């Protein structure tokens, strides 16, 4: 069988770094993965791009849009069968979800990274990259949206999240689990994800903040956000989607100023719902015009709200994309 052609995009992150003599993990003059690409030639032919080499905390939505544009340029100009992106793990899930919402491709798009740098004992970078390449060349990966592959597991961009600060098995999909696994014998899928709507994005110029609810929270942070240059707010609420009563006046102020407020749960599992009818409860907040996110975590709800606001400021439209 003829080898497939993959677009391999390196963006930086721990997978591209090395540990120095002091124990600090830093980018070097050359991405070590560039020298290891030859180890992948048994799996596919590669077109390699390295548009930037950044730690993932330096990644912005503008970088995500740049990646989308690079992918689309190659897809239109060349006969590629899949895409693999190496990325730092801190914001990997956000980049993967952004691409999942904005790319209209049926070919596999796989994002991977590493928790240990290239010269640490037990480095997982090259192994994860090989696993990602194997998934990207797998016929069964077509039409499944953007996938995240690390530690022998295949996750969807919408469900996966980083759950541990340093463990190599950090990426998990709470409630749902992975949709497949990578084994020595092959790539096995046991679930098919439900596709999400796709959005056309040419520029990103909206600012969205995330704040986390806590016991005794009042409206002061919300009042400040209303006076700053923010176009939307994500709140990681308590439980099923509840807030302390002293936040209500701040929420009303934001909504009166046409600044959408989207609610997620700060809980690791479960979704925010309009259940409780007391002041600050989910039912009360829904009646005020707060939008419930239907299961996204805070960072992904933020990405979706940024994209949504690039389409329209209409409150009904913004509510509809989270329904």
Cα 274 to chain center, whole Å? 25
| DSSP conformation letters of 113-172 | --SS-TTSTT--HHHHHHHHHHHHT-GGGTTS-EEEEETTEEEETTT-EE--SS-TT-EE
| DSSP conformation letters of 260-312 | -EEEEESSSSS---S---STTSHHHHHHHTPEE-TT--HHHHHHHHHHHHHH-
Secondary element (H or E) of residue 212: strand 208-212
Q: How far apart are CA 102 and CA 67, in angstroms?
A: 11
Only one residue has tokens 């797998």, namely 138
3-state class of 48 per DSSP? strand
The closest of 107, 110, 180 to 146, measured between CA atoms, is 110
Angle between helices 248-256 and 220-227 (to 10 degrees): 20
C-beta contacts of 191-194 below 8 A and 24+ residues apart:
192/144, 193/144, 193/145, 193/156, 193/158, 193/159
Answer yes or no: 37 catalytic.
no
> Sign of the C-alpha dihedral, residues 235, 100, 14, 127?
positive
Q: How far apart are CA 237 and CA 285, in angstroms?
A: 11
| DSSP conformation letters of 90-106 | SSHHHHHHHHHHH----
Q: How far apart are CA 209 and CA 165, in angstroms?
A: 23
Pick the catalytic residue from 14, 53, 137, 247.
14
Catalytic residues: 14
């Amino acid at each position: 069988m003829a080898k497939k052609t993959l677009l391999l995009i390196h963006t930086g992150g721990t997978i591209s770094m090395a540990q120095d003599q002091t124990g600090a993990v830093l980018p070097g003059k050359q991405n070590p993965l560039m020298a290891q690409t030859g180890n992948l030639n048994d799996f596919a032919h590669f077109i390699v791009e390295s548009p930037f080499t950044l730690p993932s905390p330096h990644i912005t939505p503008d970088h995500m849009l740049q990646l989308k544009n690079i992918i689309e340029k190659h897809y239109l100009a060349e006969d590629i069968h899949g895409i693999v992106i190496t990325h730092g793990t801190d914001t990997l899930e956000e980049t993967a979800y952004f691409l999942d919402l904005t790319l209209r491709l049926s070919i596999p798009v796989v994002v991977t990274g590493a928790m240990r740098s290239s010269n640490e004992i037990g480095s997982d970078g090259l192994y994860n990259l090989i696993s990602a390449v194997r998934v990207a060349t797998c016929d069964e990966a077509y039409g499944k949206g953007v996938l995240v592959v690390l530690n022998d597991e295949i996750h969807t961009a919408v469900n996966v999240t980083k759950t541990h600060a340093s463990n190599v098995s950090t990426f998990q999909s709470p409630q749902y689990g992975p949709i497949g696994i990578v084994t020595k014998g092959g790539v096995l899928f046991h679930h098919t994800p439900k596709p999400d709507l796709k959005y056309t994005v040419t520029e990103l110029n909206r600012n969205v903040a995330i704040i986390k609810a806590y016991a005794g929270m009042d409206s002061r942070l919300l009042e400040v956000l209303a006076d700053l240059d923010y176009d939307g707010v994500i709140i990681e609420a308590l439980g099923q989607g509840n807030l302390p009563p002293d936040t209500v006046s701040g929420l009303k102020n934001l909504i009166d100023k046409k600044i959408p407020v989207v609610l997620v749960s700060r809980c690791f599992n479960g979704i925010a719902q309009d259940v409780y009818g007391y002041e600050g409860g989910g039912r009360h907040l829904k009646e005020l015009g707060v939008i419930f996110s239907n299961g996204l975590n805070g960072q992904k709800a933020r990405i979706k709200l940024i994209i949504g606001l690039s389409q329209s400021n209409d409150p009904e439209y913004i509510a509809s994309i989270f329904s």
